């Protein structure tokens, strides 16, 4: 399963990229706005740092505007995936971009039918938002199971990009189902790194080594 980081924060992107964990990045207008700086600089930097797919989202709601914006977004790099909303204009743009060999991520997917239609329009990725479904009392992970089953039945090449991930259990469940990608807020990836027994174990190793060093002051590793 590929791991993308769901952020426009350059510090977090560099941090996790240096650990070799990132296969790509997803952004959206809210994440850009959260960083506060000039989005142009962020998009330039992110597409330089990351070799894998970087989803940059259009803000136009009409087909021709989406096409113009998508083409401009692609100027940031060949690794740019044009992110369009799950609307009829979004699907029309998805079809046009895909026919030209430009990869598309269809975002704001909340049902299996929406995922099916986006796949038929040629999307490289569909982004089901599981956390936002959980938030309204629906089962986000069940949507991933449904999409996985449908895509497997018909051998769709469209990848399931699990979005709106809230906690590490969402990641384990996505991996068990066989989702292609999870996109993670930096905080969730940080939590995945940690386990209390790792910290306790390391503290004990270091304390024991200190004791040994007192008796053998010249010993170095």
Contact status: 69 vs ligand E4P (CB under 6 A): no
Would residue 83 show up in a list of annotated catalytic residues for this protein? yes
Q: Residue 9 and residue 55: Cα distance in Å, rounded?
A: 14
Which residue lies nearer to ligand E4P by CB, 53 or 198?
Answer: 53
Contact status: 129 vs ligand E4P (CB under 6 A): yes
Q: Which of 5, 6, 50, 63 binds ligand E4P (CB under 6 A)?
A: 6
Q: Which of 12, 107, 158, 174 binds ligand E4P (CB under 6 A)?
A: 107
Contact status: 133 vs ligand E4P (CB under 6 A): no
Q: How many residues bind ligand E4P (CB under 6 A)?
A: 12
Contact status: 131 vs ligand E4P (CB under 6 A): yes
Contact status: 132 vs ligand E4P (CB under 6 A): yes
Which residue lies nearer to ligand E4P by CB, 159 or 183?
Answer: 183
Give one DSSP letter per residue of the chain, joined into a string. Answer: -EEEEE---HHHHHHHHHTT--SEEE--HHHHHHH-S-HHHHHHHHHHH-SSEEEEE----SHHHHHHHHHHHHTT-TTEEEEEESSHHHHHHHHHHHHTT--EEEEEE-SHHHHHHHHHTT-SEEEEBHHHHHHTTS-HHHHHHHHHHHHHHHT---EEEEBS--SHHHHHHHHHHT-SEEEE-HHHHHHHH--HHHHHHHHHHHHHHHHHHHH-TT---
Q: Which of 42, 43, 94, 163 binds ligand E4P (CB under 6 A)?
A: 163
Q: Which of 76, 146, 183, 189 binds ligand E4P (CB under 6 A)?
A: 183
28 Cβ neighbours under 8 A, 6+ residues apart: 57, 83, 107
Contact status: 28 vs ligand E4P (CB under 6 A): yes
Contact status: 29 vs ligand E4P (CB under 6 A): no
Which residue lies nearer to ligand E4P by CB, 28 or 79?
Answer: 28
The one catalytic residue in 34, 71, 83, 92 is 83
Q: Residue 39 and residue 48: Cα distance in Å, rounded?
A: 14
Residues marked as catalytic = 83
Residues that bind ligand E4P (CB under 6 A): 6, 26, 28, 31, 107, 127, 129, 131-132, 163-164, 183
């Amino acid at each position: 399963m590929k791991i993308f980081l769901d952020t426009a924060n350059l510090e977090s992107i560099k941090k996790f990229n240096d650990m070799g964990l990132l296969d790509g990045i997803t952004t959206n207008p809210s994440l850009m706005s959260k960083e506060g700086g000039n989005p142009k600089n962020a998009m330039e930097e992110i597409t330089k740092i990351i070799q894998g797919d970087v989803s940059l989202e259009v803000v136009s709601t009409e087909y021709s505007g989406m096409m113009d914006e998508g083409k401009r977004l692609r100027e940031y790099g060949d690794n740019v995936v044009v992110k369009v909303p799950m609307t009829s204009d979004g699907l029309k743009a998805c079809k046009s971009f895909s026919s030209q060999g430009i990869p598309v991520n269809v975002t704001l997917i909340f049902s299996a039918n929406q995922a099916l239609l986006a796949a038929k329009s040629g999307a490289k990725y569909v982004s089901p938002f599981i956390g936002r479904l959980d938030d309204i009392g629906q089962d986000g992970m069940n949507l991933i199971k449904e999409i996985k089953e449908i895509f497997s039945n018909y051998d769709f090449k469209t990848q399931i990009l699990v979005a709106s991930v809230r906690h590490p259990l969402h990641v384990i469940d996505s991996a068990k189902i066989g989702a292609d990608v999870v996109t993670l807020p930096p905080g969730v990836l940080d939590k995945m790194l940690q386990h209390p027994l790792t910290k306790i174990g390391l503290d004990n190793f270091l304390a024991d080594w200190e004791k040994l060093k007192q008796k053998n002051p010249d010993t170095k590793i």
